[in-house]
Structure 1
Amino acid sequence: MGAFRPLMRRLRAAISPRRALLALLLTVPAVPALAGACPSLPHPAIASARFAEARGRVDGVRIVAFGSSSTAGAGASEPGHTYPALLEARLRAALDVPVTVLNRGRGGEDADNMLVRLDRDVIAERPDLVIWQLGANAAMRRMDPAAFAGSVREGVHRLREAGIDVVLMDNQRAPRIAANPDHDRFDAALAEIAATTPGVALFSRGTLMDRWTVAGVPPAALLVPDELHHNDRGYACVAEAMAEALLASPPPILARRAR
């Protein structure tokens, strides 16, 4: 038996590093797999000077996802499958600087409610970029579109005064939203504000889902049975499209040199 002891020691020494490597790989976070394929479509670039600058900084990119239940992640199977979590994972995989996406979604709210917590939950975090998703609850509450637009303009003004770039995200295509009269006026208000305000861009989820329908992926495939909120696949596809749109605008030349 003694003749085999040196051989056993050599075998244990060879196996242990492999086990250690396997344990290390299992602890590395991965980008969650899509719950179904997303349509392969080009997405319009989102121009954000602050995001582009942050891509060249050592401390990296800081984003606040602000909104209602679509941001909080109603319908997702777990927190890691919400669109902000998936967006963070995709940007981290694409960039060589740190990326943080804070989820500041709260179900049931719209522009008027969100203004109350804008300073505490958003501006105090000192983000480079805020993705502000809103309009669905305003449509379902049958809020006055003019009052909605006024609240959004106030919030955008406060964010821009703080030096924060803004992306406005409009409504998903869902039966419970479409059932409300004038629901499209809320999307139109966001588009008009984005088009006329420097430092503000539009991410049109509605247009995106229309294009997906043409490509063979209808809204029902991206929603849970409540006919309102995204399922895991829907959130994954939104995050993928958002990441692609943000990454489509390269960092400024000066930011690249600074790296």
Structure 2
Amino acid sequence: MIQRRFMAALGGLVLGLAGRPADASTEACPAVPMPALWVPSFAAAVARGGAVKIVAFGSSSTAGAGATLPWRSYPAVLERQLRRALPGLAITVMNRGAGGEDAVQMIGRIESDVLADSPDLVIWQLGANATLRGLDPGTFRRLLLQGLERFRQARVDVVLMDNQRAPRIAAQPNNGVYDAILAEAAATQPGVTLFRRGALMDSLATRGVSHAALLVSDGLHHNDRGYACLAEALGRGLVEGLAVGTLRARR
């Protein structure tokens, strides 16, 4: 039963969402190849059935700066995507984004704003404000690992999200350092995987959707289409990850 649910969900997501706009006012997002996101704690919650809780944790990209309405932020769009892909589950994506924060502030919110909700998955977006402010990379790495250790203690897996391709970020010296730290953590820390937002935007650019087409005029934040493309790719990765786990279980 669980395997059939996962495979049916994958088929439904690919057929129902690929190239489809998130709402009538949003242009379509081309489906681009992205790695599946195997997240055991999320898979276990889906297998149990009933309620599935996800916390979207981060700064202004999570809060939805640049979106015309709150329900066009990426967490809100992701919730709708997953509910369509996984019918019968009460999926909630809680938005715990706070504009302007970097790792220094976020680490102080983990208990009250994330773990207090007993999530089955945390999507942690960080690094943009560290880049803009030139936060010491060693401090960034230390705080990131501290947060990941706390999530591991709580037995909650984490999807890290790296930076958007935006002029204001690209203009900063060492702008790739923080993305590299996130990638290293995802590769070395148990229960952690990485959603490559930058790679998604690059792939979309090869299909005619420029970086600028996904940003508002401030040269930093996503517009409605950018959040929709982000949420669709993230949702597809999570559901494809369920299929990956099913295949592993068969071996």
User: Which TM-score bucket, shorter chain as reference?
Assistant: 0.7 to 0.9
Q: TM-score when scaled to structure 2?
A: 0.86
Q: 1:174 to 1:95 in 2, by over 3 A?
A: same
Moved more, 227-236 or 39-48: 39-48
1:66 aligns with 2:57: yes
In structure 1, give the amino acid aligned to 2:59.
S
SS at 1:249's partner residue? helix
Give the Cα–Cα distance (whole angstroms) in 2 for the partners of residues 242 and 147 of structure 1.
Answer: 28
- Which of the pair has more CA radius of gyration? 1
Identity level (%): 57
SS at 1:250's partner residue? helix
Query: Hey, what does 2:15 align to over in structure 1?
Result: none
How many equivalent residue pairs?
224
1:80 aligns with 2:71: yes
Query: Hey, what does 2:98 align to over in structure 1?
Result: 106
In structure 2, give the amino acid aligned to 1:103.
N
SS at 1:224's partner residue? coil
Query: Hey, what does 1:133 align to over in structure 2?
Result: 125
SS at 1:104's partner residue? strand
Where does the alignment leave 5 or more consecutive residues of structure 1 unmatched?
A: 1-30
Quick check: 1:130–1:166 contact (8 Å CA) kept in 2? yes
SS at 2:241's partner residue? coil
Give the Cα–Cα distance (whole angstroms) in 2 for the partners of residues 221 and 32 of structure 1.
Answer: 17
What do you get for the CA RMSD once the two structures are aligned?
Answer: 1.4
1:43 Cα deviation from its structure 2 partner = 1.8
Query: Hey, what does 2:114 align to over in structure 1?
Result: 122
Give the Cα–Cα distance (whole angstroms) in 2 for the partners of residues 250 and 162 of structure 1.
Answer: 21
In structure 2, give the amino acid aligned to 1:128.
D
Describe the superposition over 1:104-126 as per-residue Cα deviations: whole angstroms up to 9, x where unpaired.
Answer: 00000011110111100001110
1:215 Cα deviation from its structure 2 partner = 1.5
Query: Hey, what does 1:46 align to over in structure 2?
Result: 37
Counterpart mapping for 1:140-219 below 5 A: 140-219=132-211
1:34 Cα deviation from its structure 2 partner = 6.1
Give the Cα–Cα distance (whole angstroms) in 2 for the partners of residues 32 and 85 of structure 1.
Answer: 12
Give the Cα–Cα distance (whole angstroms) in 2 for the partners of residues 53 and 87 of structure 1.
Answer: 19
In structure 1, give the amino acid aligned to 2:64.
G
1:59 Cα deviation from its structure 2 partner = 2.2
- 2:28 pairs, out of 37, 42, 61, with 37
Q: 1:233 to 1:141 in 2, by over 3 A?
A: same
Give the Cα–Cα distance (whole angstroms) in 1 for the partners of residues 52 and 232 of structure 2.
Answer: 17
Q: 1:34 to 1:211 in 2, by over 3 A?
A: farther
Query: Hey, what does 1:3 align to over in structure 2?
Result: none
